[in-house]
């Protein structure tokens, strides 16, 4: 049916051409205008059930809007200016209003006839049918959205196809050999047009025509460029691109790239498409005339079918010859078009047609002049007042040029012009002065109005963001029973949080007291007691919903649909961790996990276990001997050898070095000494990041050269450079030693270019993963070991029980994986350590949209904070002994240790739980087991129990520990 409609429209146009050639004289026809009317007629019939004549005013108005839009394409876009009543804005608003009114009339006519004729089977009918109120559901599209879709298809449905036909005709006329080949194919498959109607099956057989049109699209695609915008900071081909950057895809340039299309990229060669689009170039997606991917043009098949039909029917009756008047000067007015295309048409076996139509350049000149409002250069009267033409009859009041708007009379002499302004009296001079002052004041008011226009939207947005939105969210949540501390302008509750933390900073605890919440999370302790487990507080103008109910926590953490992505508001934390597995979301996270996950499979962990034991054996020697490269340890070793008393060692720093050494060996094939600068730089980044956690996050501030930003950028650059050196060393040795079996090796192997596929990770993403695991792979485990040693020293009865179990299962040997699996008491002890002193005291997610959270409607963008340390001390979850150290609660496993199976959150939970948790537990068991084989731990009297949170939980004053070799002898 669609093919029949197209054929009818084309036949009407060709009949007009034949009528103009009836006299037998030569005829010159300006084709671009003809094709614009034709494609407008086709889209009117097929999509809106009308005709070009009925929708003529819509097309003319849309064309004026097109030129208006293009006239601003290379202007600085100042948001406030769109609201100013400038001449161009007023014109745009007026034309747009007329277009919407005319489209609404077409829709009303269709709705008025729906009872008798239905909604119709065209595009408009389908939209109205889908949004009909009688279906009893909420309409999929509003009436305004339907009108917007009509505008889209009224413009895109004819403008791009008309230019494709225009350029195809140009190329047919300049390549007569191809015109003959295509005519021969058309006659063979479709006949001569006198008897058979053109069908879809016929069009599908026109292979040469298809190749010709594809090459036309390559060389003269209607759209020369398209743009996208980055929704966040992201990696683009190995380049970190900031949020909000415009990505411009230069289609025309790509279509002429010799590296993509070959040395003949600038030539017209339809045969390159002989084997299809995907094999025409060196890249299967090189042709971008209809864009590509999921957002490619939805009407591309319609456009190609229409173009084939027009070319075929035109070639059945006419041969095309380019007029001598033609000037090859393509121009871009959002779409690429010739300035004019006069064409000589010759019917097969008939004389040359006769008649000359005026080209469209006059129209373009009028519109451009009307838009720019600039006086044209001096012209002759003949230029000023062009003769009436056939085109004038097609100009609506919207597009007809008003000559008195921009014409002036160059014939007037300067003396005559000066005469008009010669003063005749003093009073006249004063009048002119007053007029000058008035004009100056007018300019000043215009400047002031422009400034206000710029500032007004910004001020309005600030008012909405900082005042109205917090107020509205507070009211909405309060209506649902969710209260919280009141919002304070700009800073929210950050001042309260800082004050409460400052009050707790000087507090010290008894070594038997494990409740550090008043020091680390005092705001949660206070606000939960006042408002319940779910409440709202404010970090700046951003709402934070505290989620301390374990059932709601499960809803968030076990979600697999992407409703609760990671919160990336703090750029300093992103610098620290890198945008690796921990911070990515969606498809990026799946891609990263696909590469990283094999490194933590059980088979791989057995191999890592053997390396970890070796590293632990080597590193544990800091208890026994000095390192030749460490003067401090050498002195301590000499002291240990001579002393008969207990020796004090600061364990927390030693565990940091140990876990850094283990992750260096097992994941990156290096050592702590080699990667020492990386760890030191990352530690500094960690403290820098934490210093900004309770500041108002203003996005633009991340780009300012403040002292903190400059320091962060410098450290991040150093870390990336050092990691790149490690990677380069691995790549340099790959031919002899391969990529390696560790984490780095697996990442490089998965992204190796020799696989012939697109790498799963870019080099920048590999570096980000290295940053993630360099930090997360040692920092959290080191603090687990620190707090485990603290609890061993304060609970000697458990130290004895664990030592007995280690000796029973491992003897004096280096523990193996099988041995470690049998250390049930050690496992229980570590789990209880993680409950009371988990490395991470809180985690956050973000609401990706307005959603239901445990029966509460939470607004899009709200931060969901899960206070792990607080939940781990909740008596309703863990029982009345929640604040006590009782490893036996894990005797029957993690899921039965509390009243909720997912109450232990030290490694998070759900599909985004820590990928390295098994590795961390194996390492911790190995270290604890080997320490207990050799030493007895006794807490130093110098120790001050003051846990502090610097992204991870650590003892404020370190962990000084008295070490005594098992059996009573001191270390030596």
User: Does residue 609 contact residue 922 with C-beta atoms inside 8 Å?
Assistant: yes
User: Does residue 89 contact residue 14 with C-beta atoms inside 8 Å?
Assistant: no
What's the pLDDT score for residue 79? 67
For 370, other C-beta atoms within 10 Å of its C-beta total: 21
User: Does residue 90 contact residue 81 with C-beta atoms inside 8 Å?
Assistant: no
pLDDT-derived band at 427 (thresholds 50, 70, 90) equals low
pLDDT-derived band at 73 (thresholds 50, 70, 90) equals confident
For 382, phi and psi rounded to 5 degrees?
-65, -35
669: alpha, beta or left, given left = phi > 0 and alpha = psi -120 to 50? left
pLDDT of 703 over the 90 cut: no
- 448 or 250: whose pLDDT is higher? 250
Q: Identify each DSSP E strand in 89-160 by its residue range.
A: none
Structure tokens, 554? 């499960």
Does a structural domain hold residue 737?
yes
User: Does residue 869 contact residue 814 with C-beta atoms inside 8 Å?
Assistant: no
Work out the burial of residue 600: count CB atoms within 10 Å of its CB; fewer than 13 is exposed, 13-18 middle, 19 or more buried: middle
Residues 528 and 400 in one domain: no
Q: Return the ∠ at Cα 342 (arms to 336 and 344), rounded to 5°.
A: 130
Closest C-alpha among 188, 112, 96, 189 to residue 150: 96
- The annotated binding site for heme is made up of 914
For 536, phi and psi rounded to 5 degrees?
-115, 135
What's the pLDDT score for residue 635? 41
Structure tokens, 616? 């632990």
Closest C-alpha among 528, 534, 474 to residue 500: 528
What's the pLDDT score for residue 443? 67
What's the pLDDT score for residue 26? 66
pLDDT of 753 over the 90 cut: no
Give every CB contact of residue 538 below 8 A, 6+ residues apart in sequence.
Answer: 470, 484, 485, 487, 488, 492, 493, 494, 544
What's the pLDDT score for residue 629? 39
- 660 or 395: whose pLDDT is higher? 660
**Average pLDDT of the residues of the chain:** 83
In DSSP notation, 615-626 reads HHHHHGGGGTS-
What's the pLDDT score for residue 626? 31
Domain residues for 315?
A: 2-223+289-384+394-417
User: Does residue 344 contact residue 321 with C-beta atoms inside 8 Å?
Assistant: yes
Q: Return the ∠ at Cα 965 (arms to 964 and 971), rounded to 5°.
A: 80
Work out the burial of residue 85: count CB atoms within 10 Å of its CB; fewer than 13 is exposed, 13-18 middle, 19 or more buried: exposed
For residue 464, CA distances in Å to 91, 459, 460, 470, 859 come to: 30, 9, 6, 8, 15
Does a structural domain hold residue 497?
no
pLDDT of 527 over the 90 cut: yes
Q: pTM to 2 decimals?
A: 0.61
Maximum distance among all Cα pairs of the chain, rounded to whole angstroms: 125
pLDDT of 295 over the 70 cut: yes
Rounded to whole angstroms, the Cα distance separating 52 from 38 reads 8
Residues 412 and 537 in one domain: no
Pairing of β 542-547 and β 534-539:
antiparallel
Residues 293 and 410 in one domain: yes
pLDDT-derived band at 58 (thresholds 50, 70, 90) equals confident
What's the pLDDT score for residue 341? 57
For residue 210, CA distances in Å to 217, 304, 844, 921 come to: 11, 8, 54, 63
Closest C-alpha among 151, 160, 161 to residue 107: 151
Segment 778-799 shows an average pLDDT of 96
For residue 936, CA distances in Å to 664, 793, 955 come to: 28, 8, 20
User: Does residue 671 contact residue 678 with C-beta atoms inside 8 Å?
Assistant: no
pLDDT of 289 over the 90 cut: yes
Does a structural domain hold residue 347?
yes
Structure tokens, 791? 């609890």
Q: What is the crossing angle of helices 824-837 and 796-810, to 10°?
A: 140
pLDDT of 275 over the 80 cut: yes
Structure tokens, 703? 């780009």
Least confident of 4-13, 285-294, 354-363, 425-434: 354-363
Site of tokens 């098949």: 301
Rounded to whole angstroms, the Cα distance separating 406 from 544 reads 58
Q: Return the ∠ at Cα 37 (arms to 36 and 40), rounded to 5°.
A: 85
pLDDT of 345 over the 70 cut: no
Segment 253-279 shows an average pLDDT of 95
Least confident of 148-152, 156-160, 202-206, 895-899: 156-160
Rounded to whole angstroms, the Cα distance separating 931 from 923 reads 12
* 813-869 pLDDT per residue, tens: 999 999 999 999 999 999 999 999 999 999 999 999 999 999 999 999 999 999 999
Does a structural domain hold residue 423?
no
What's the pLDDT score for residue 874? 97
Least confident of 119-123, 421-425, 499-503: 421-425
Gyration radius from the chain CA atoms = 38
pLDDT of 969 over the 70 cut: no
Segment 903-930 shows an average pLDDT of 95
52: alpha, beta or left, given left = phi > 0 and alpha = psi -120 to 50? alpha
Does a structural domain hold residue 501?
no
Name the 3-class secondary structure at 824.
Answer: helix
Does a structural domain hold residue 790?
yes
**DSSP secondary-structure letter at 244?**
T
Q: Is residue 530 within a helix (H) or strand (E), and if so which, with residue range?
A: helix 522-531
- 708 or 389: whose pLDDT is higher? 708
Segment 485-500 shows an average pLDDT of 95
pLDDT of 401 over the 50 cut: no
User: Does residue 619 contact residue 658 with C-beta atoms inside 8 Å?
Assistant: yes
- 608 or 650: whose pLDDT is higher? 650
pLDDT of 738 over the 80 cut: yes
Residues 522 and 398 in one domain: no
- 58 or 437: whose pLDDT is higher? 58
What's the pLDDT score for residue 827? 98
CATH of the domain at 604: 1.10.630.10
Segment 653-665 shows an average pLDDT of 91
Does a structural domain hold residue 455?
no
Q: What domain count does the chain have?
A: 2
Could you tell me how far CA 85 lies from the centroid of its own chain? 35
Segment 35-64 shows an average pLDDT of 82
Structure tokens, 571? 């750029």
- The annotated binding site is made up of 914
Residues 411 and 547 in one domain: no
pLDDT-derived band at 460 (thresholds 50, 70, 90) equals confident
* 191-247 pLDDT per residue, tens: 887 767 888 899 999 999 999 999 999 999 999 999 999 988 888 988 989 988 999
User: Does residue 766 contact residue 577 with C-beta atoms inside 8 Å?
Assistant: no
Residues 529 and 662 in one domain: yes
Q: Is residue 952 within a helix (H) or strand (E), and if so which, with residue range?
A: strand 952-955
Name the 3-class secondary structure at 500.
Answer: helix
* 553-564 pLDDT per residue, tens: 999 999 999 999
Residues 216 and 363 in one domain: yes
Per-range mean pLDDT, top range of 23-32, 633-642, 695-704: 695-704
Does a structural domain hold residue 492?
no
pLDDT of 364 over the 80 cut: no
For residue 758, CA distances in Å to 237, 712, 751, 754, 755 come to: 11, 32, 8, 10, 8
- Report the percent of the chain where pLDDT is more than 70: 81
């Amino acid at each position: 049916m669609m093919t029949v409609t197209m054929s009818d429209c084309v036949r009407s146009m060709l009949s007009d051409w034949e009528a103009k050639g009836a006299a037998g004289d030569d005829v010159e026809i300006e084709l671009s205008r003809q094709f614009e009317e034709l494609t407008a007629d086709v889209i009117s019939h097929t999509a809106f059930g009308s005709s070009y004549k009925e929708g003529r005013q819509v097309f003319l108005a849309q064309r004026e809007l097109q030129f208006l839009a293009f006239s601003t394409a290379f202007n600085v876009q100042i948001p406030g200016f769109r609201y100013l009543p400038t001449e161009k804005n007023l014109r745009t608003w007026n034309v747009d209003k007329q277009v919407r009114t005319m489209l609404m009339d077409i829709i009303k006519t269709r709705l008025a006839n729906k009872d008798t004729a239905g909604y119709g089977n065209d595009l408009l009918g389908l939209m109205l049918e889908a949004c009909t109120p009688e279906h009893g559901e909420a309409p999929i599209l509003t009436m305004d959205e339907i009108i917007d879709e009509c505008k889209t298809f009224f413009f895109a449905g004819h403008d791009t196809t008309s230019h494709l036909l225009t350029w195809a005709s140009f190329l047919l006329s300049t390549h007569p050999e191809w015109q003959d080949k295509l005519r021969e194919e058309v006659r063979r498959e479709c006949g001569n047009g006198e008897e058979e109607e053109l069908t879809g099956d016929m069009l599908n057989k026109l292979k040469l025509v298809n190749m010709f049109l594809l090459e036309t699209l390559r060389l003269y695609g209607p759209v020369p460029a398209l743009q996208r915008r980055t929704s966040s900071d992201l990696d683009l081909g190995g380049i970190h691109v900031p949020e909000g950057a415009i990505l411009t895809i230069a289609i025309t340039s790509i279509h002429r790239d010799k590296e993509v299309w070959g040395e003949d990229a600038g030539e017209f060669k339809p045969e390159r498409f002989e084997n299809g689009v995907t094999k025409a170039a060196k890249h299967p997606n090189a042709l971008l005339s209809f864009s590509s991917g999921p957002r490619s043009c939805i009407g591309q098949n319609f456009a190609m079918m229409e173009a084939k039909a027009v070319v075929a029917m035109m070639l059945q009756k006419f041969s095309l010859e380019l007029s001598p008047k033609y000037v090859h000067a393509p121009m871009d007015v959002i779409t690429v078009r010739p300035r004019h295309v006069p064409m000589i048409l010759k019917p097969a076996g008939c004389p040359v047609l006769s008649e000359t139509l005026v080209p469209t350049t006059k129209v373009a000149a009028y519109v451009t002049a009307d838009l720019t409002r600039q006086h044209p250069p001096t012209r002759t009267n003949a230029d000023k007042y062009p003769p009436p033409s056939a085109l004038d009859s097609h100009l609506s009041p919207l597009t007809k040029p008003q000559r008195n708007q921009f014409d002036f009379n160059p014939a007037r002499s300067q003396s005559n012009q000066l005469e008009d302004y010669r003063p005749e009296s003093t009073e006249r001079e004063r009048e002119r002065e007053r007029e000058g002052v008035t004009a100056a004041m007018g300019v000043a008011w215009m400047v002031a109005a422009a400034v206000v226009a710029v500032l007004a939207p910004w001020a309005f947005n600030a008012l909405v963001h900082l005042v109205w939105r917090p107020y509205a969210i507070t009211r909405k949540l309060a209506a649902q029973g969710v209260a919280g501390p009141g919002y304070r302008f700009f800073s929210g509750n950050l001042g309260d949080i800082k004050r409460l933390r400052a009050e707790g900073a000087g507090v010290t605890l008894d070594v038997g007291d494990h409740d550090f919440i008043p020091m680390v999370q005092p705001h949660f302790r206070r606000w939960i007691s006042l408002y319940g487990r779910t409440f709202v507080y404010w970090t700046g103008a951003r709402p934070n919903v505290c989620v301390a109910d374990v059932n709601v926590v499960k809803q968030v953490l076990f979600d697999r649909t992407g409703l609760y992505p990671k919160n990336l508001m703090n750029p300093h934390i992103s610098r620290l961790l890198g945008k690796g597995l921990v911070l990515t979301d969606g498809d990026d996270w799946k891609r990263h996990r696909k590469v990283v996950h094999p490194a933590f499979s059980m088979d791989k962990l057995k191999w890592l276990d053997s390396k970890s034991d070796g590293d632990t054996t080597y590193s544990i020697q800091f208890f026994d001997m000095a390192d030749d490269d460490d003067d401090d340890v050498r002195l301590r070793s000499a002291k240990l050898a001579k002393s008969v008393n207990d020796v004090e060692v600061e364990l927390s720093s030693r565990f940091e070095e140990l876990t850094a050494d283990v992750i260096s060996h097992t994941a990156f094939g290096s050592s702590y000494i080699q990667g020492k600068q990386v760890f030191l730089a990352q530690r500094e980044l960690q403290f820098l990041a934490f210093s900004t956690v309770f500041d108002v996050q203003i996005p633009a501030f991340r780009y300012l050269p403040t002292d903190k930003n400059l320091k962060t950028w410098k450290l991040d650059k150093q870390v990336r450079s050092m990691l790149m050196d490690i990677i380069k060393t691995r790549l340099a040795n790959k031919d002899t030693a391969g990529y390696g079996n560790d984490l780095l090796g697996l990442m490089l192997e998965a992204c190796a270019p020799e696989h012939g596929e697109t790498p799963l990770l870019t080099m920048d993403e590999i570096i980000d993963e290295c940053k993630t695991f360099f930090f997360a792979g040692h920092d959290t485990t080191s603090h687990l070991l620190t707090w485990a040693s603290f609890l061993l020293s304060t609970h000697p009865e458990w130290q004895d029980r664990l030592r007995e179990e280690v000796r029973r299962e491992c003897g004096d040997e280096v523990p193996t994986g099988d041995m470690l699996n049998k250390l049930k008491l050690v496992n229980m002890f570590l789990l209880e350590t993680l409950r009371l002193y988990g490395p991470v005291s809180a985690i956050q997610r973000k609401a990706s949209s307005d959603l239901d959270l445990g029966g509460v409607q939470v607004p899009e963008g709200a931060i969901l904070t899960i206070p792990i340390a607080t939940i781990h001390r909740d008596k309703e979850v863990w029982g009345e002994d929640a604040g006590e150290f009782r490893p036996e609660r894990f005797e029957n496993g993690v899921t039965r240790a509390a009243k909720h199976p997912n109450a232990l959150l030290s490694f998070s939970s759900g599909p985004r739980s820590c990928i390295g948790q098994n590795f961390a537990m194996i390492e911790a068991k190995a270290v604890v087991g080997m320490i207990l084989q050799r030493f007895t731990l006794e807490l130093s009297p110098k120790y001050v129990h003051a846990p502090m949170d610097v992204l991870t939980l650590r003892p404020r004053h370190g962990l000084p520990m008295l070490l005594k070799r098992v059996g009573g002898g001191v270390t030596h």
